[in-house]
């Protein structure tokens, strides 16, 4: 698992999930802001015989640091992965970075470029995975496409909680991937450098 199973977090209602198809874009956080409270199935990822899902639950308990432009009813939300066996967990940047750091240099180069494409350039995860030859790669035992898919939504979450231009939003979290990819920092160092990576 590239995340955690928090005991006190309200999990999404998998029996009453609305399907939501929001393309990756600079205003994805604003578009999701307009959605009412509830649970949303936002990504389905097939890998061999397995089907993974990314589900959002809105609202959660964090208070955004400032007002998101064009978002009158700004709410925190949680990002969840549903495994093929039904297990649920919340992905975290730190766990993802720990797995990213363990990859070979060649694989890490490909994944880094794909992450940049999704988080910074707003590419769709499936497009980034294909263009950067990550289709068959595993990150910590999970399909790279799954990781790219949940990073799309973690980036939207960062933009919701830490809205640009006052805060860095998605760029704050992406800085961790830049630092680890440089080889100068390891994931544990980032807990002291960037608050977003604290457990």
CA distance 193 to 149: 25
Question: Taking the model in full, what pTM does it have?
Answer: 0.93
Please compute, for residue 178, the number of CA atoms within 13 A of its CA located in the half-sphere on the CB side: 12
When computed from its CA atoms, the radius of gyration of the chain, rounded to whole angstroms, is 16
For each of the chain's 199 residues, which pLDDT tens digit applies?
999 988 888 889 999 999 999 999 999 999 999 999 999 999 999 998 999 999 999 987 777 777 777 777 788 899 999 999 999 999 999 999 999 999 999 999 999 999 999 999 999 999 999 999 999 999 999 999 999 999 999 999 999 999 888 888 899 889 989 999 998 888 888 777 666 555 4
Q: Where are the domains of the chain?
A: 3-197
């Amino acid at each position: 698992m590239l995340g955690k199973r928090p005991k006190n977090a309200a999990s999404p209602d998998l029996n009453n999930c609305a399907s939501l198809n929001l393309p990756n874009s600079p205003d994805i956080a604003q578009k999701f802001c307009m959605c009412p409270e509830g649970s949303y199935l936002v990504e389905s990822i097939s890998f061999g015989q397995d089907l993974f899902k990314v589900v959002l639950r809105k609202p959660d308990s964090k208070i955004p640091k400032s007002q998101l432009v064009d978002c009158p009813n700004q709410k925190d939300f949680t990002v969840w992965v549903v495994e093929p066996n039904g297990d649920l967990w919340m992905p975290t940047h730190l766990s993802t970075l720990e797995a990213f750091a363990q990859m070979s240099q060649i694989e890490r180069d490909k994944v880094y470029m794909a992450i940049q494409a999704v988080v910074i350039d707003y590419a769709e995860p499936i497009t980034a995975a294909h263009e950067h030859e990550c289709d068959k790669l595993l990150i910590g035992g999970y399909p790279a496409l799954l990781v790219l898919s949940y990073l799309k939504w973690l980036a939207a979450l960062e933009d919701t909680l830490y809205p640009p231009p006052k805060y860095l939003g998605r760029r704050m979290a992406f800085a961790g991937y830049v630092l680890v990819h440089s080889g100068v920092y390891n994931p544990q160092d980032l807990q002291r450098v960037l608050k977003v990576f604290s457990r």
